[in-house]
Every structure is written in structure tokens, then in C-alpha cells.
């Protein structure tokens, strides 16, 4: 099978994260500016995937929180303007399930990460573009990447959880 190049369609994709706040609620955020490409055969097994997001495009629906997240307490967007991912393996388990392993670089720290991937299928849009849809999920510990700011509440709990859930809904468009 011949490899094809696919690009992330940003208008039909989203990169989200979820973090517990005060241990009782979840804050959801996303990155508005990102790009990526995939080189893969027709069934995507063994695909080579790369991705990059602009840290300054972070959005949690709170301007004050977003500015704090961009600061040196968290992402340090001025010194580290992008986060990136490069796959090391993309393995097909069955027709709808893949395992993705790669290196995530965040705030100058590169660590391996494992992601579960659900393949939602391939279709041709009304303009003749071939599209493929995926949902990726995983978790990371933000402190491993130097995002260590926190404070303790009156009840003794952490204000912000160390565990971050990652959810990406990706639509790829096949490049001609």
C-alpha cells in the first residue's frame, strides 16, 4: 500500500484538555491554533503523525485564567510558544481501535505518552475531498512537564489537579 499525506482540518477538529478544579468540578480548555500531518497507508496502521499547537491560543472561557496559564507558572508561552507531538508507533488493534505512542514536548520537556485512538471512518465530502475522522484520548501528569503551580484550599485540597485528561477530535483531509 502506498503512503498518502493527510493534513489536520482545523475547522473540523478540536484539541481539548480537562482538569479538576477544587476537586469538585472540571475545567475544560482547548487550543484554537494547531496544525499537523499524517503519513499513512490506506488503513493507517504504522502511520507517522506530527502535531503542533500554539500555546498562546489556549482558551478556557476565562480570560484571567487563560493569561495565568500562558504565564511562567504554567505554559510560559513567551519562552515556549508551541507544544508538539511526534509519533513513534501507531498500531491497529481492530477496525476501529488503534494505539498511539509518541513524544509530547511541552514547556521544553519531552516525554513519551500513550493515547487510545478510535477510528470513525473515511468519507468523501461534497467537494471531492477525502476525509478521515479520529478521536484520541489520554492522560498526563502536568507536573512531569514543569507545569507545577498550585495552591492549597482551606479544606486542604489542591486547587488544580495534577492529572490532565486529553481529548482530540481530528478530521484529516487527504492531500493530493
CA gap 132, 154 in Å, rounded: 48
Residue 158, pLDDT > 60, answer no
Q: Is the dihedral of CA 70, 71, 74, 80 positive or negative?
A: positive
Residue 112, pLDDT > 50, answer yes
| The three grid cell numbers given for residue 37, joined into one nine-digit string | 500531518
| Model pTM score | 0.89
pLDDT for 9: 97
Higher pLDDT, 155 or 53: 53
DSSP 53-100: EEGGGEE-S-HHHHHHHHSTTTT-TTT--EEEEEEEEEEE-SSSEEEE
- The fold for domain 4-174 equals Lipocalin (2.40.128)
Task: Give the three-class secondary structure for 142.
Answer: helix
Lowest average pLDDT, out of 18-22, 59-63, 89-93, 120-124, goes to 18-22
- Indicate the pLDDT class of residue 149, thresholds 50, 70 and 90: low
- Indicate the pLDDT class of residue 150, thresholds 50, 70 and 90: low
DSSP letter for 158, please.
Answer: B
For residues 66-74, average pLDDT: 90
CA gap 105, 164 in Å, rounded: 15
Higher pLDDT, 175 or 146: 175
CA gap 139, 90 in Å, rounded: 17
Amino acid at each position: 500500500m502506498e503512503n498518502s499525506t493527510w493534513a489536520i482540518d482545523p475547522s473540523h477538529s478540536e484539541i481539548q484538555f480537562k482538569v479538576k478544579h477544587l476537586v469538585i468540578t472540571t475545567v475544560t480548555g482547548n487550543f484554537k491554533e494547531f496544525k499537523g500531518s499524517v503519513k499513512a497507508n490506506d488503513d493507517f496502521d504504522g502511520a507517522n503523525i506530527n502535531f503542533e499547537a500554539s500555546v498562546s491560543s489556549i482558551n478556557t472561557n476565562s480570560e484571567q485564567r487563560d493569561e495565568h496559564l500562558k504565564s511562567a507558572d504554567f505554559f510560559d508561552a513567551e519562552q515556549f510558544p508551541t507544544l508538539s507531538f511526534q509519533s513513534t508507533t501507531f498500531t491497529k488493534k481492530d477496525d476501529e481501535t488503534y494505539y498511539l505512542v509518541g513524544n509530547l514536548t511541552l514547556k521544553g520537556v519531552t516525554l513519551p505518552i500513550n493515547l487510545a485512538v478510535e477510528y470513525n471512518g473515511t468519507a468523501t465530502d461534497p467537494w471531492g475531498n477525502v476525509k478521515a475522522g479520529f478521536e484520541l484520548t489520554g492522560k498526563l501528569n502536568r507536573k512531569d512537564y514543569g507545569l507545577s503551580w498550585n495552591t492549597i484550599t482551606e479544606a486542604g485540597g489542591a486547587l488544580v489537579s495534577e492529572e490532565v485528561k486529553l481529548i482530540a477530535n481530528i478530521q484529516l483531509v487527504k492531500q493530493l
